[in-house]
Amino acid sequence: MQNSLAFFQNKSVRFIDHSKQEKVFDQPNEALTSFAVDDAIATAVGDYEVETTARIWVHDKTIVLGIPDARLPYLQQGLHYLQTHHYKAVVRNSGGLAVALDKGVVNLSFIIPNTSKVSIHDGYDIMYAFVQRLFQPFTTDIKAYEIVGSYCPGDYDLSINGVKFAGISQRRVRNGIAIQIYLDVEGDSKERARVVRQFYSLSKQDERTNFTYPDVNPNVMGTINELIHTSFTVDDVIQMMKQTLKELGAELKTGHFTPNEENVFHKRLEQMEKRNEKIHI
């Protein structure tokens, strides 16, 4: 896509705000639920049953593990550490590595149809361009490249002057695409990084592994507030996201789930629960 932001022009976008703790489909609003919700939405969007959807989600004191993390040799010791520090752990249904969430971190999912015109890079670029536009009044220095020493490092780490504040992932479900970003807004990013670093230290120890796990350096992690010298709350940024979508030409609609989305959700939640059986301690 030559102009990623043109994607939103004259487009109806269903906006769903799950940033509070109300239940979703009568289930607790937690990370395990969120990944099943995005899968259900992606299925419906891909079938053109519902329009493109933007979903906001916030979960407190949760470490979201990637599938490779579940294979760490001393995983139970790392999980025990998280539990004693009052963190929940959940293995998501996609690649990537551990990410720390709390009330100062906002997650945004853009869920769009998987057409032949939307490559994997296009999907990442849509979110990257959106975040650049979101903070355009405050900085033009947001870059996308891997930040060595960050947790969940990847080509679409978003950073300012080499300090990462966000990471983008992507999941394709049948004919739908969920482009997901976590964005550190407020709070202590260094403490989040220290928790992830200690989790890896205890879970891997000195064991040789086939997979390369990050050596987390808290100094390369920061909040957007720290990097652009602002004092935004998560709620502030959510309102900015809505306003930016409108400025890009999207028509926002309050979203309601369809019966089919609820059916798919329960199936996907069951799969998530099965995947997470191995990390219960």
Reading the block at residue 80, the tokens are 């025990």
Helix (H, G, I), strand (E, B) or coil at 33: helix
Q: What is the mean pLDDT of residues 144-168?
A: 97
The phi-psi region of residue 180 (left if phi > 0; otherwise alpha if psi is between -120 and 50; otherwise beta) is: beta
pLDDT tens, residue by residue, 168-213 = 999 999 899 999 999 999 999 999 999 999 999 999 999 999 999 9
pLDDT-based confidence at residue 1 (cuts at 50, 70, 90): very low
Burial class (CB in 10 A: 0-12, 13-18, 19+), 207: exposed
What are the structural domain ranges in the chain?
4-279
Q: Which residues are catalytic?
A: 152
The residue-averaged pLDDT of 61-75 equals: 95
Separation between Cα atoms, residue 278 and residue 138, nearest integer Å: 44
Q: What gap in Å lies between CA 232 and CA 229, rounded to an integer?
A: 9
Tokens of 246: 């409108």
CATH class of the domain comprising 4-279: alpha beta
